[in-house]
Structure 1
Amino acid sequence: MEFITWAVVVVAVLAVILLAAWRFFTLRSKGTSVILRELPQNGVHGWRHGLFRYNGNKLEYFKLRSLLPMSNLTLDRLSVTLLDRRDPVSDEAVFMSKGVKVLHIQSNDDHIEIALNTHSEMAFTAWLEAAPDARAEHTLNARDFNRFRPGKDTRKNR
């Protein structure tokens, strides 16, 4: 019985190590470093280091100290609004790099702060601004689509 217990423990430890290694090596090379916290928070509490990975209209956030094989948070570009941009306060500057800006965003009803360096902030705002405006989106009906087909003369006979 003791052998079975040790075997189960060894298999569990190996599984955790493999999962951690897989997550570390696959995400580290494909992500953007970020520090994120969900609001409301008091003081400097709630900040978590992690990675952003852009995936089309989705932004996936992976916590640095998590073993989940999927993202810990997913943001949809069409639901994200940039509310404010600020410098870190003195207590936050202790664990953040120089040149970091803190962005306050809203996604649906969730308020989130993200700390990004200059290049990451530029990439994030470019990704955000590239979203199509929901008011401008419309679908063309078949009649409108056929009107603009290549090779079709759209001028009326005179």
Structure 2
Amino acid sequence: MEIVAWVVGVVVLLAVLLALWRFLTLRSRGQTVLLRRLPASGLHGWRHGTLRYDGDQLLYYKLRSLSPRADHVFHRQQLEFLDSRNVSEEEGGFMSRDLRIATLSDDHDVRYEFALDQHGLMALTAWVEAAPDIRHERIDYAALRDRITRGKNGK
């Protein structure tokens, strides 16, 4: 019985440490956001979290999650900015009226709404629209050859 108590204590301690680590590291380095996947009816589906930009990926971390990994990953070249709107009267009951809601679509035609402050919306819009068109990216054949041959280059 004493072993079970120790195991439960260690598991609880690990969960608390993981939650504390996630809270302290993500809150200080990300953009606060509310996110929901569409279609959603009324006020349902909004989730609090944090956005972090990582190169061509947008990482979304849910506020109430203990996972050390991102809960959702958006790829820049797959996102399309559709529109933005103000917070509705209903939504104003649980989120600030200063927020703007942006609707984005991914390459699978799944739409998402992001509720951000003005600076966060500007950053998200600029990040999405600054993505290079995949058709305009040049292939670096030398780097590709080195990767395939693992740097041997025929030597």
TM-score by length of 1: 0.84
Query: What is the match of residue 111 of structure 2?
Result: 111
Among the aligned pairs, what percent are the same residue?
A: 46
Equivalent position amino acid for 1:36 in 2: L
Is the partner of 2:22 in helix, strand or coil? Answer: helix
Query: What is the match of residue 13 of structure 2?
Result: 14
Is structure 2 residue 65 aligned with structure 1 residue 74?
A: no
Is the partner of 1:15 in helix, strand or coil? Answer: helix
Q: Per-residue CA shift, 1:49-72, capped at 9, x if unaligned?
A: 000000000000000000001000
Query: What is the match of residue 128 of structure 1?
Result: 128
Looking at structure 1, the residues matched to 101 and 73 of structure 2 have their Cα atoms a distance apart, in angstroms, of 19
Looking at structure 2, the residues matched to 140 and 5 of structure 1 have their Cα atoms a distance apart, in angstroms, of 57
Aligned residues: 141
TM-score by length of 2: 0.86
Unaligned runs of 5+ in 2: 143-155
Equivalent position amino acid for 1:105 in 2: L
Equivalent position amino acid for 2:44 in 1: H
Looking at structure 1, the residues matched to 3 and 141 of structure 2 have their Cα atoms a distance apart, in angstroms, of 66
Q: Greater helix share, 1 or 2?
A: 2
Answer with 1 or 2: which has the greater Rg: 1
Equivalent position amino acid for 1:6 in 2: A
Looking at structure 2, the residues matched to 72 and 106 of structure 1 have their Cα atoms a distance apart, in angstroms, of 18
Instruction: Report how far residue 79 of structure 1 moved.
Output: 0.2
Is the partner of 1:5 in helix, strand or coil? Answer: helix
Poorly superposed stretches of 4+, deviation over 6 Å:
none
Equivalent position amino acid for 2:18 in 1: L
Looking at structure 2, the residues matched to 18 and 140 of structure 1 have their Cα atoms a distance apart, in angstroms, of 44
Unaligned runs of 5+ in 1: 143-158
